[in-house]
Amino acid sequence: MTKDNFRAFVDDLPDLICRYRPDGLLLYVNDAYATFHGRSQSDLVGTSFLDLVPPEYQHEVDDSMQRVQRLNPDDPVIVNEHRALDSVGHIRWQQWTDKGVFDEEGSLTEVMAVGRDVTERRAAEEQATYLASHDPLTGLLNRRSALSRLERLLGTARRRGEQLALLYLDINDFKTINDKFGHAGGDRVLEEAAERMSAAFRSTDLVARIGGDEFVVVCPSVSSDDQLTPIVQRLTTTLAEPMLGLGDMSLSVSVGWILSDGSEPADDLLAQADREMYRAKTERSERKLGDQKSSAVAGSTS
């Protein structure tokens, strides 16, 4: 195959192919590379491909270039992935295989690179990662991810000598809600409750659904019940607002909370907060029962 025939063959390949100097100056690009960037081959040769990278993705390419600089005859190939903008402004993930070319002294003189689009694969991986760590109904973190994040937050509190608050929440009378509105209605209530909880807390707080109608919230840098009380009040107020489309119903929650300096394991702390929540729920049930008895007595004497 002649040199011209080989270049024609490379130009017909769908993969992006280029040669560049260690400083990023392009020595050759094939037609697919030029088409991706919406430029001609002659326009690109002699320019730096680093200038084609949007600022928000520059750090990804910088990491790749640091690896390129470490190429040597004993380890001449690297594979890396980074994002790029195509000719119409769409974000695409590319996987590049870079092979170094060296002189007789083993110094890197240029790099031959082949890139291919892996956007769909990356999207599938990101979706799988998201589903593994998030509750599919509400989009909140799931139990496993919440515990992992809580462990990290406890470590931070311990190092800084701070405290954090862990709240364990349970929607009151959720079975009655399911019986009245069906599972679809119950799911809508959970989704709405999750949205309202997320809005009620700070951006630095962690909100997660750990199963059923139970949620946890972690509030870093909270050192007293006095600091926590307005947060809980804001939560109960926002949940009490009517839920349109569901008979304008409002929600109430039983809340148990624990303050921690980070000395307890996440599992133990969660169990303590769970017990506090059930204590609050039991007290609520006893109050309701007491109110019913009082109403019966009042009714009989009126």
Degrees to nearest 5, angle at CA 89 with 88 and 90 = 100
Which residue carries 């019966």 as its tokens? 296
Query: Which tokens sit at 214?
Result: 């139970």
Q: Alpha-carbon distance 231 to 49, whole Å?
A: 51
CA separation, residue 155 to residues 158, 264, 286 (Å): 5, 10, 38
Q: Alpha-carbon distance 226 to 228, whole Å?
A: 5
102 and 108 Cβ atoms separated by less than 8 Å: yes
Degrees to nearest 5, angle at CA 260 with 196 and 272 = 75
Q: Where are the alpha helices (DSSP H) in 38-118?
A: 41-44, 58-69
Looking at 98, 170, 205, 213, which residue is catalytic? 213
- Edge-first strand order for the sheet with 206-211 is 206-211, 214-220, 164-171, 253-260
The question of whether 179 is a catalytic residue gets the answer: no
Instruction: Give the residue numbers marked as catalytic.
Output: 213
